[in-house]
Amino acid sequence: MPLAFLIRLTGLPAPWLLAGMAISALGHGTGISPGRLPDLLGHAAFVAMGALIGSRFSATRPRDVLAYLVPGLCVTLITVVIALSGALLAGWVLGLSTGLVTISFSPGAIEAMTAIAISLGYEPTFIAAHHVFRLIVLSFVMPFLFRKKR
């Protein structure tokens, strides 16, 4: 818990998630906690996450969904093409699995991409590290690139 408060002071996004990942990485890296979550608990967590995400759409009107469908699909297609191009190039240059690198480069939430990595049998730490790096770049570098000029 103290680590999450320290991370929060830095202004990084998702301090509780990052603290949990750091402690888990330390535990797994040192061999203190080499185990994994039982499948039943993992499946229950996926169901709970799905229900939570679905509940956020309960007040959305079908007309609103249709209005945002085409722009949303266009943005999704653009980001997928960019991410896939970078992933294929990096995978080829570094000799890494196409699936592993594709998930690492895919736009999305850290927890969702990590869950996908686990379900597909890829190294979740590798993928989470790429997404944490992306968040750090977005949080610290992008504001300098796009600040207003006076």
**Pair 46, 115: CB distance under 8 Å:** yes
Distance CA 139, CA 145 (A): 11
Contact 114, 124 (CB under 8 A): yes
Which of the two residues, 30 and 67, has the higher pLDDT score?
Answer: 67
pLDDT number for residue 110: 83
**Predicted local distance difference test score (pLDDT) of residue 150:** 59
Model confidence over 4-53: pLDDT tens digits? 899 889 888 888 888 888 888 888 888 887 777 788 998 999 999 999 98
Give the DSSP letter of residue 50: H
- Taking the domains of the chain in order of start, what are their residue ranges? 63-145
Q: pLDDT tens digits for 102-139? A: 888 887 788 888 888 888 989 888 888 888 888 888 88
pLDDT band of 149, cuts 50, 70, 90: low
Enter the pTM of the model.
0.50
Residue 132: the pLDDT is 87
Q: What is the pLDDT of residue 52?
A: 92
Mean pLDDT of 61-84: 91
